[in-house]
Every structure is written in structure tokens, then in C-alpha cells.
Copies of this chain bind each other. A is one copy, B any other.
Amino acid sequence: MIKKLKNFYLFRHMDEAKLARLEDISNIVEYKKGTILFFEGDEAKNMIVLLDGILQVYKTDQKGNKVILHHFFPVDVIAEIVNLEHMRYPASAEFETDGRALIINYELFEKEFLKDPEVSFAFIKSLSKKIKYLENVIATNMVMNSTARVAKFICEHGHEISDLKKSHIAADLNMTPETLSRILKKLSTLGLIEKKKDEIIILDKEGLETFYL
């Protein structure tokens, strides 16, 4: 069970004894699709490592709309700052698929593991990865308009489009399905993409990139 963690950078250098101890102070929980892992404002006593499934992190604006911030994929530590800073979750998290998570007693983890230079260096890496991610959220959502966000998404995730519902993509891009639909039509009219059934073909990648680069 815990072997999977060996593949995860935070735990890679741990010997058997340490991993066993980690197992002692943690447990694995399964979640169904749609389950809320935590709500914005919740207090955190545990550190969470996502083992399986996709986790969506979002805030809710005044009108009750979701503003989607991240998607976490296995294996990832979720919201370590909340533990480090003894703060409350700044956003909510919901499982987008069935999933599993390792729930670690943070107090013990900090005491027994975090002083280890290897672990703390890995922690630094994990935090800086998160900062990069947040910078990207900001760059995408604060600096770019809807058309640019769509163009970027097509260029970076063109292949995924066939698997995802349009309404899902729209939500991830923080826009309505109507807006997405109109923008796709526009890009299609401009001859930058071709909308085939269930698929979007990029005709002019450079043209798309001019919207966001």
C-alpha cells in the first residue's frame, strides 16, 4: 500500500523503518466522486497526500459560482501551507473522480520528519511547485481574457478535449459554456481551428498563440 509512496519525491529517500513509522501515523481513506475533501475555512489537523483520483480545488464567489483554482493529480501533497501555517483552508476541494488519500497526522509528521534535510528540501520543492502553479492561475485568469484562455487551453490540452465535456472545460476555464461555445465558433470562423465531431483540430497554432503570448 504505502509502497506507492516510494515513487513520490517527498518520501523517496526514506528507509523502511521511516516508511513504517509514516504508516503508523497515517491512514488511507477512500472517497467517492463528488465528495468534499475539505471546505474553505475548515481547520486542518492532518496533512493530505492524494494517492488516486482527481481533486478539484475551488473558491466560491458572492454569487455562489465556483472559481476553479487547481486540479491535483496523484501523487501530490495537498495544501501543505495550511499545515505549516496552522491556518484554515483557503479554498474547498472536491473529488472529481473516485479517489484515495493518505491522511497523515501533521503534528507528528512535523516533529519526526520535517527536520530531516531531505524531507525539508523536498518540501521546498513541493511548495515552489505550488507557487508556480498559483502564478500560472494568476497569469491565466487575471491577465488573460476568455479568448486567450481558450486559445491557451487548446494549444496546451488539444488532445484532452475529446474526453471532456464542453461544460467541464468551460468550468475549468472559469467561463460559461455559452461563452466557450461562442469563442470556439469565432476561432473556427477565423480559420484557426476546425470543429469536428468530438474533436478540435488546430489549423494554425501560431495564430492561436497570438491571443495569449
Contacts and interface: CB of A to CB of B under 8 A. Distances in A.
Contacts of A121: 114-115, 120
A37 to B, nearest CB: 17
Given A67-B143, A137-B138, A120 B124 contact: yes
Interface stretch (A22-30, A80-88, A98-106, A162-170): A80-88
Contacts of A132: 81, 85, 87, 90
A44 interface: no
Contact of A131 (B61, B114, B131, B141): B131
A153 interface: no
Identical subunits present: 2
A62 B148 contact: yes
Contact of A61 (B91, B123, B125, B143): B143
Contact of A142 (B67, B81, B90, B127): B67
A123 B125 CA distance: 11
Nearest to A147: B62
| Nearest 7 pairs of A and B residues by beta carbon | A127-B127, A134-B134, A61-B143, A90-B135, A81-B128, A84-B128, A81-B131
9 contacts: A59-B139, A61-B143, A67-B143, A84-B124, A91-B135, A115-B117, A115-B121, A131-B131, A138-B138
